[in-house]
């Protein structure tokens, strides 16, 4: 009964969110990701509202949710797709080319935080490269 309603709802949500996301993309320039704190600051809203908006944009496919790992055991921070959490990730695959070929890090959801990346440009991001490499 509800299934035929799904696509118009999705289409409408996408139409409503798109201009806002375009403005966001322009505002962010070459930034790699956006998190709820920054989105809340940019729009003058609270953190819960920001999270809801970013999640809505992710749901309609404009943004994609990734996990930012900033652990001190890695030479730098990197983004991890949700499906690769808790699995060993090679540091060289995350772009740290000076690292040992076999050096890996397992990223737990407890030691990372969700951020959002542009879903359209996702094919070019390190996170997708990581997903392919792993």
Partner 1 sequence: MEAAAEVFFVDFADLADVAVFLLAIGLTPLRLRGRPQIKPVTAICQSGFLPHNFLTSHSLCLIRSVRATRFSPYGFHNDALQCVRHAVVHWKPDSMALAENLNAFWISKLGADRLAQLPGGSTGRSSLDKALNVVRELKKDRETLYNLLFEGFDGYFHQSVFVRDLKKSMASTLANLEIGKTVKDVEWWAIQSPKAHHVRVLAGVRRQMQFLTAKDVGEWYVITIPVMIEAMPSLLRVRTLTVQSTPTTWSELLGKEITRILTPLVDTELHDQALGATGVPVGDLGEMVDYSRHAVELMKDTANVNTYAGTFAVRTVGQTRHATGGGGLGRKRQPMHVVMSTEFNELVGSDRVRQCEIDVQKDLDIGLLAGTALVIYPVEGKIVFRKMLSGGAVDAFLAYLAR
**Given the rule CB under 8 A, which residues bind partner 1?**
30-34, 70-73, 76-77, 108-111, 113
Distance CA 37, CA 22 (A): 19
- Is the Cβ of residue 10 or residue 82 nearer to partner 1 in the bound state? 82
In angstroms, what is the minimal distance from the CB of 110 to partner 1?
6
Q: Among positive and negative, which fits the CA dihedral 73, 78, 82, 87?
A: negative
Q: Please, what is the minimum distance in Å from the beta carbon of residue 53 to partner 1?
A: 18
Cβ at position 72, least distance to partner 1 in Å: 5
Nearer to partner 1, 5 or 110 (CB): 110
Q: To the nearest 10°, report the CA torsion of 82, 84, 90, 92.
A: -40
Nearest to partner 1 of 76, 121 (CB atom): 76
Distances (CA, A) of 14 to 18, 50, 56, 78: 6, 17, 9, 28
């Amino acid at each position: 009964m509800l299934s035929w309603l799904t696509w118009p709802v999705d289409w409408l949500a996408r139409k409503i969110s798109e201009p806002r996301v375009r403005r966001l993309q322009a505002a962010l320039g070459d930034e790699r990701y956006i998190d709820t704190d920054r989105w809340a600051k940019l729009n003058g809203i609270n953190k819960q509202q920001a999270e809801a908006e970013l999640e809505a944009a992710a749901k309609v496919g404009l943004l994609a949710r990734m996990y930012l790992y900033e652990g001190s055991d890695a030479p730098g921070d990197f983004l991890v797709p949700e499906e690769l959490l808790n699995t060993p990730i090679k540091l060289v695959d995350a772009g740290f080319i000076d690292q040992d070929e076999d050096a890996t890090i397992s990223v737990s959801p407890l030691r990372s935080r969700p951020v959002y990346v542009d879903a359209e440009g996702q094919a070019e991001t390190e996170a997708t490269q990581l997903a392919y490499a792993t």
